[in-house]
Amino acid sequence: MSTSTEKLQLVLPALSDEIQQTIQDLASNFQRLDNISDTTETQTPTTRYWKVNKKVWNSSPQSGQYIGWVNVREGQACPKWNPLYQYNMGDKIVPANDNGHYYECIQTGRSGPNEPSFPTTSGGSINDTQGASKWTPTHSYKLNEVVFPSVDNNRFYICTVSGVSGATEPVWSTVDGGTVSDGMVVWTGYRIVKWIEKGTSALFKPFGKIE
């Protein structure tokens, strides 16, 4: 009859064990060892699902840096949200300011210049158009202000040349990165990114500062 090791609870096969059972036990041992093996990265992890207390070691430690990072919240690791960045379906992010959740892109497009107010309710969704407003005639617009057309076309337009808009609404480009002249203003248009809340995010903290 097989027994187990004290610390890792690895299976110690016995000569009387069936061959198939022994192979399964050994495979389980290998997986358990792999699960606890050291993980090294050059920066805080941004992929995979992580358990609490999982440590990641800095592969290039230097004086003044940290020896690694430890996860203090079980969840999905993702890169932080970036402004005016091209996102594709299935991409995952966490807010720049941690709120304990991660989000998945459900519509390919470009993020806005301002971080959205991400929902924290399960399955909550949001358009990445924080601070945007409906286009207004003869209005003074500043760089990076964002507008929507009066008729929704699933796009936003960011001011790339400041000035006063025209008296009549321009014909909006539906090409990503396409520009539109509007009085003194020039707009650049992009498809709107849409996000959905997907669950709890991992939270890695640095440890072991190297003096």
Domain contains 62: no
pLDDT string in tens for the chain (211-residue length):
778 878 778 788 877 878 888 788 778 767 776 666 668 778 899 999 999 999 999 988 889 999 999 999 999 999 999 999 999 999 999 999 999 999 999 999 999 999 999 999 999 999 999 999 999 999 999 999 999 999 999 999 999 999 999 999 999 999 999 999 999 999 999 999 999 999 999 999 999 999 8
Domain contains 115: no
Domain contains 156: yes
Domain contains 25: yes
Domain contains 91: no
Please, which residues have CB within 8 angstroms of residue 137's CB and are 6 or more apart in sequence? 165, 166, 167, 168, 169
DSSP-derived 3-state class of residue 36: helix
Domain of residue 140 covers 133-192
Domain contains 47: no
Please, which residues have CB within 8 angstroms of residue 30's CB and are 6 or more apart in sequence? none
Domain contains 68: no
Domain contains 162: yes
